[in-house]
Amino acid sequence: MSMKYRDLENGCSVIVFDVDGVLMDESGSTPRSKGLELLAEAVAGYRVYIVTGRSEAERGVIVELLRNSGIRVGDLAGILMRPRGDKSSEVALKVRLLNRVIDVEGCILELHDNNPRVLDAARKLVRGALVLHYNDGCETLKGRSVLGKCT
């Protein structure tokens, strides 16, 4: 792992963000300042993945959101999305995608999502914090976030 990334006690420097309800509102039309602020902080010192239930056909929308927020897609470790034709539930899809991140990186330090069922299902997959986003705020449900303050 490059020296760019913070080497934490447990050796993990991977943070995962959802899009809808975290970086944008649930309708996917309005950026969320708190989520984007935390994402910018994460990109500055951690390996960051976007894991979303959005279809692969919507990749351009996410790239545009990031670009408009001053975040370079090249600074992300990856954007994992729902494959075309995948009809699985949001929880099943995200658990599968999170496991792909773990297969590549070996761990996930922190997960930011707006769905408590996703966070609950990911409880054993995430070494550090589970962060629930709502409106334009957040709350740490498990562990302690290494990013900003989420009460």
Per-residue pLDDT of the chain (151 residues; tens, 9 = 90+): 333 445 455 689 999 999 999 999 988 889 999 999 999 999 999 999 999 999 999 999 999 999 999 999 999 999 999 998 999 999 999 999 999 999 999 999 999 999 999 999 999 999 999 999 999 899 999 999 999 888 7
| Angstrom distances, CA of residue 129 to CA of 10, 26, 35 | 13, 22, 15
Contacts of 79 (CB under 8 A, 6+ apart): 49, 50, 52, 59, 62, 63, 73
Whole-angstrom Cα Rg for the chain: 14
- CB-based burial label for 113 (10 Å; 0-12, 13-18, 19+): buried
Q: Which amino acid is at 21?
A: G
* Domains delineated in the chain: 14-142 (3.40.50.1000)
Predicted confidence at residue 8, as pLDDT, reads 52
Predicted confidence at residue 99, as pLDDT, reads 97
Contacts of 130 (CB under 8 A, 6+ apart): 110, 111, 113, 119, 122, 123, 140, 141, 142, 143
Q: Tell me the whole-structure pTM to 2 decimals.
A: 0.92
Q: Which amino acid is at 115?
A: N
d(CA 130, CA 134): 13
> Is residue 61 within 8 Å of 27, Cβ to Cβ?
no
Predicted confidence at residue 16, as pLDDT, reads 98
